[in-house]
Each structure stands twice: as C-alpha cells, then as structure tokens.
C-alpha cells in the first residue's frame, strides 16, 4: 500500500492487478473479440465501399442508391460512366476518358455483363484474341499441332509484345481469318434457322394435338346427344344402345388417329445448302457431307436381333485366351475365370457389337 501511494504522489500511472477472468486470450480468438467491440458501420465499411464505388459514376457522382434507374456502361479502358455523361462528353466525337485520358468513342461503351470488372476485362480480351486466332482443327496437319496452337494462344501475356504479335498474325493470316469468320457466321445462321424450324414444328404438333382433343370432345358430346335421342325414341334396351354408341366412338377415334398418322409430314426446306456457301476451297472436310436430321420418335424402330445369330466364339485374338480353356493347366483355368470379372463372358461383347452394327440398317437416308 505504501508503494502505491508513493507512485501516485510522483504522478505515475496506477496499474491494477489483472483478474483471472482477463487471462491472455489465444490469438485465434482475438479477431472475433475485437470485432465484437467495433461498431457495425466500421465492420461493413470495408465490404460496402467497393460496391458503392462500382455503382457510382466517376464523372457526375450519381449512384444507384439515389437514382435506381441509373445505367452504367463500361468503356474499353474499363471505367464506368452513366449514359447521360457519355452522351454529354462523346456525342460530338472522340474525347478523352475523364479517368485515364484514353481517347474513346461513344459507340465503344458496352453494358457490363459480369459484376467483377477484372472478369469483364479478361472475357473481352479473350473474345478479341479468339476472333483473330480462330483456326480450326482441320487447318492443321495433326492434333498435336492444333494443341500446340491452342497452348500458344493461351500463353499470351506480354501486352506490348502481344499486341504487335496479334497485329502481325492478323496481317499474315487475313484470308484464313476471314474464311473462318464466314464459316462461323453461316453456322450460326444455320443453327438459328434449325432452332426456328424446330420451334415451328413443335408449334404445329401442339396445334394438331389441340385440334384432335377438340374434335374428340365434339364427337363425344354429339355421341351423347344421339344416344339420348335414341334411348328416347328406340325400343332397344339401354345397354345395347350404349354399347353400340361406345363402339362407334372407338371406331371414329381410331379413324381420326389413322388419318393423322397417314397425313403427309411437313416438308422441311433444305437448309444444309447454307453451309456449302461458307466452305473455302482449302477446306479438308468433305463438302458433300450433309447434316442429317433424324427424328428418333418419328422413325419406326425395327429390332435387328432376328437378323443375326451370336455364336459362342469368334476369331478374336484379344479374347481368345478368355474362352478357350483346352490344353491349359488348372492354375491357368483359374486365372481365366478371374479375368472374366464376375459373370462376364465375351459373348456379351459380340452380342453388343452385332446389335450396334445392325441397328442402323433401317434408317432411311435423307
């Protein structure tokens, strides 16, 4: 007590003894304890400040909190600006970016697809590079050469050297790039037409099915009315009249289904000719090959099993040692049974191969 009084007289700081409840805390728990004493605004600031900056125009400082309909567009230098500032700054022609002074045009601003601008930048750069380095596997002599080409494109990282290299490559391969771009455009057009035809075909099927339901409902109501009139005016028993009407209704329904099945299918236009326009003379693919559209539902299924007979063994050097156990010791026979893997027999493979070989015989070429 005397020492404490002397320290207080000298202006020293009085240190109270540390209770046992305030023992040193492990470092792993210190972060949670510190967070419990901080205000919530301090905790959320580090997480919300980045999103607030992303949702704010750097020119007019408008944000989506005060202007919910604010639309921010991304420039080629990956800086955001609102549409009103873009119209005000770039309507007269090219002008420098207010953030980095890069010369920009109004038409170069695009909507942001990804939330992270780094991902947006990488995707745009990859699209730009892929538009120029667009060679296909058929443009190379081997698969290894094509894989080396893909690896070479993926390793483009030096900005200055890459830009010079891309420009040089674009100049040297201008014809190939144009030909592949034309192929891609025609393939996209072909695909869109195919999707449109498929959509139209499904719409026609839905309409035909709806008409069939309506006709069946109309026929059923007419049959009920006729049955009531016949019951009122005929001397026959009610059971015989209802049975006759039921048979008539079944026959009419079967006739409608038969007429619908025998109706001529909708003739589709030959769209595969669109691809022939885009084929260059240097294309190593077969130009006469057409894309055949096979409808597995409409095509009748024929079981090919009666067309072939599976025998117990064939001349197959790969599986002969699994079948022929003659002139083998007991140990070798035991190994053969082990290689068959629990009930397997090479006959299963022969049966599957023959079934696959004969399954496509009845598919009519188009």
Q: How confident is the model at residue 68 (pLDDT cuts 50, 70, 90)?
A: confident
Provide the b/e sequence for 145-158 (b: ≥16 CB within 10 Å).
Answer: ebeeeeeebeebee
Residue the block writes with tokens 């719409």: 203
Residue 183, pLDDT > 50, answer yes
Residue the block writes with tokens 């202007």: 67
Closest-CA residue to 346 (of 323, 328, 326): 323
How many CA within 13 A on the CB side of residue 113?
Answer: 7
At residue 226's C-alpha, the angle toward residues 223 and 231, to 5°, is: 125
Q: How confident is the model at residue 358 (pLDDT cuts 50, 70, 90)?
A: confident
Which DSSP helix (H) or strand (E) runs through 118? helix 117-132
The three state secondary structure string of 206-266 is HHHHHHHHHHHHHHHHHHHHHHHHHHHHCCCCHHHHHHHHHHHHHHHHHHHHHHHHHCCCC
Q: Report d(CA 246, CA 226) in Å as an integer.
A: 12
Percent of the chain with pLDDT over 70: 61
Contact criterion met (CB below 8 Å) for 129 and 115: no
Q: Higher-confidence residue: 237 or 316?
A: 237
Q: How confident is the model at residue 364 (pLDDT cuts 50, 70, 90)?
A: low
Q: Report d(CA 73, CA 265) in Å as an integer.
A: 49
Provide the b/e sequence for 19-54 (b: ≥16 CB within 10 Å).
Answer: eeeeeeeeeeeeeeeeeeeeeeeeeeeeeeeeeeee
The sign of the CA dihedral 82, 87, 92, 93 is positive
**pLDDT tens per residue across span 98-117:** 888 889 888 888 888 888 88
Q: Report d(CA 112, CA 80) in Å as an integer.
A: 9
Beta strands in the chain (DSSP E): 72-74, 80-82, 95-96, 103-104, 110-111
**pLDDT tens per residue across span 4-36:** 444 444 444 444 444 444 444 443 444 444 444
pLDDT at 40 (0 to 100): 38
Contact criterion met (CB below 8 Å) for 310 and 356: no
Contact criterion met (CB below 8 Å) for 212 and 256: yes
Q: Report d(CA 117, CA 51) in Å as an integer.
A: 11
Q: How confident is the model at residue 343 (pLDDT cuts 50, 70, 90)?
A: low
pLDDT at 171 (0 to 100): 86
Q: Higher-confidence residue: 232 or 66?
A: 66
Q: Tell whether domain 38-112 is in CATH 3.30.40.10.
A: yes
End-to-end CA distance of the chain: 109
């Amino acid at each position: 007590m005397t020492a404490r009084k002397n320290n207080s007289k000298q202006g020293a700081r009085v240190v109270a003894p540390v209770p046992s409840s305030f023992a040193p805390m492990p470092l792993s728990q210190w972060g949670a304890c510190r967070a419990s004493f901080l205000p919530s605004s301090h905790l959320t600031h580090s997480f919300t400040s980045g999103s607030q900056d992303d949702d704010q125009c750097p020119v007019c400082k408008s944000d989506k909190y005060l202007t919910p309909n604010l639309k921010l567009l991304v420039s080629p230098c990956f800086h955001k600006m609102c549409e009103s500032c873009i119209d005000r700054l770039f309507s007269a022609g090219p002008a420098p970016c207010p953030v980095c002074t890069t010369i920009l045009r109004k038409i170069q601003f695009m909507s942001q697809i990804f939330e992270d601008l780094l991902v947006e930048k990488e995707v745009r750069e990859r699209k730009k590079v892929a538009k120029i380095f667009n060679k296909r596997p058929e443009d190379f002599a081997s698969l290894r050469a094509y894989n080396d080409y893909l690896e070479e494109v993926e390793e483009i990282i030096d900005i200055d050297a890459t830009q010079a290299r891309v420009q040089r490559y674009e100049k040297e391969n201008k014809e190939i790039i144009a030909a592949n771009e034309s192929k891609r455009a025609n393939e996209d057009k072909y695909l869109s037409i195919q999707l449109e035809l498929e959509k139209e075909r499904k719409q026609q099927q839905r309409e035909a099915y709806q008409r069939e339901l309506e006709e069946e409902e109309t026929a059923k109501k007419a049959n009920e009315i006729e049955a009531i009139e016949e019951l009122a005016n005929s001397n026959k028993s009610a059971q015989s009249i209802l049975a006759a009407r039921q048979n008539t209704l079944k026959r009419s329904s079967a006739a409608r289904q038969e007429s619908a099945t025998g109706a001529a299918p909708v003739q589709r236009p030959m769209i595969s000719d669109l691809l022939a326009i885009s084929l260059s003379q240097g294309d190593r693919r077969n130009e006469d090959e057409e894309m055949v559209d096979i409808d597995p539902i409409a095509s009748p299924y024929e079981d090919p099993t009666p067309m072939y007979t599976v025998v117990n063994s064939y001349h197959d050097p790969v599986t002969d040692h699994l079948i022929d156990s003659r002139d083998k010791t007991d140990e070798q026979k035991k190994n053969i049974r082990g290689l068959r893997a629990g009930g397997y027999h090479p006959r299963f493979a022969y049966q599957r191969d023959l079934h696959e070989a004969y399954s496509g015989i009845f598919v009519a070429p188009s």
